[in-house]
Every structure is written in C-alpha cells, then in structure tokens.
Amino acid sequence: MFGLGVTELAIILVLVLIIFGAGKLPELGSGIGTGIKNFKKGISEEKRDHDACLTDEKQ
C-alpha cells in the first residue's frame, strides 16, 4: 500500500491522534468521506456528459 509498512502507518496514526485529538477523528473521517463521495459523483457526471456529447456528434 503506497510502499508504507506497518511501522510507518502506526507512526502516521499516532501523529494524527496527537495533532487532531481523538474527539476530532470522527469529524475528520466524515469530512474526508464526503469529499471523496462528491469527487466521485462529479467524475461520473462529467463522464456521462462526455459520453452524451460523443453520441450526439455521431448522429
């Protein structure tokens, strides 16, 4: 996974806990999840629009 071992992931997790605190982690995770969902939605809409444009040009 991106060339990271267990030790590196553990260090990153500890740093995140120190910086944000345990109380902010659910909020942080929710925000990241929402951002990823919106990004995927935008990509699929653009793909659909692009495909519709291509089919209109063929006709």
Residue 59: which pLDDT band, with cuts at 50, 70 and 90? low
Does residue 30 lie in a domain region?
Answer: yes
Half-sphere exposure of 2 (CA within 13 A, CB side): 4
Residues 6+ apart with CB under 8 A from 34: none
Q: What rounded mean pLDDT belongs to the chain?
A: 88
Our separate counts of H helices and E strands in the chain read: 2, 0
Does residue 43 lie in a domain region?
Answer: yes
- Among 26, 7, 5, residue whose Cα is nearest residue 17: 26
Does residue 17 lie in a domain region?
Answer: no
DSSP-derived 3-state class of residue 42: helix
In terms of residue numbers, what domain contains 40? Answer: 25-59
Does residue 50 lie in a domain region?
Answer: yes
Specify the number of domains making up the chain.
1
Q: Which has more pLDDT, 34 or 55? A: 34
